[in-house]
Amino acid sequence: SAVERAAFWARCDAITLHCPLTDATRGLIDDAALAAMRPGALLINAARGPIVDRAALEAALASGRLGGAGLDVFWDEPWDPTDPLWRHPRVVTLPHVAGSTTEAFDRIAAIVADNVARVRRGEPLQHRVD
C-alpha cells in the first residue's frame, strides 16, 4: 500500500531500482515517494526510466530534498545529450551500460538456455514478466 511504501522510503538512505517496467511500477517513484524519503537520500535507477516520475525527480533535486541520483536508464532512449540532467551537479548518468559486464552476459546466457529447456519440458519460465 502507499502507506507501507512511504514508511519504507522513510527508512532508506538510498533507493536502487532494478525492476521491470509494468503498469504497477510506472511512476512508482513520484512526488509522494520522494517526499517520504530521508532528506539527502540517493536514488539510483538501473531499471527503466518511466519508473521514476521525471518532474518529481527534477523538483526533488532542485529543492535539495534528494541528495542525488544515479541514472543508467532514461525516459527516452537514446537520451538527448543536451538534456540538463546530464550536467546536473548531483546526478551521475551512464548510457544504459550498468548491466554490460561479462558476468551479466554469462548469467543472461544461462537463464536463456534454462528457459529454452523449460519450454521443451512444458515448465514455466524463470523471470517471466507479463
- Check 38, 54, 88, 96 and give the catalytic one: 96
Name the pairing type of β-strands 66-71 and 91-93: parallel
Known catalytic residue at 88: no
Contact criterion met (CB below 8 Å) for 31 and 53: yes
Known catalytic residue at 103: no
CB atoms within 10 A of CB 70: 18
- Check 18, 77, 90, 118 and give the catalytic one: 77
C-alpha 108/C-alpha 101 separation (Å) is 11
Q: What burial class does residue 65 get, using C-beta atoms within 10 Å of its C-beta: 0-12 exposed, 13-18 middle, 19+ buried? A: middle
What positions carry a catalytic annotation?
48, 77, 96
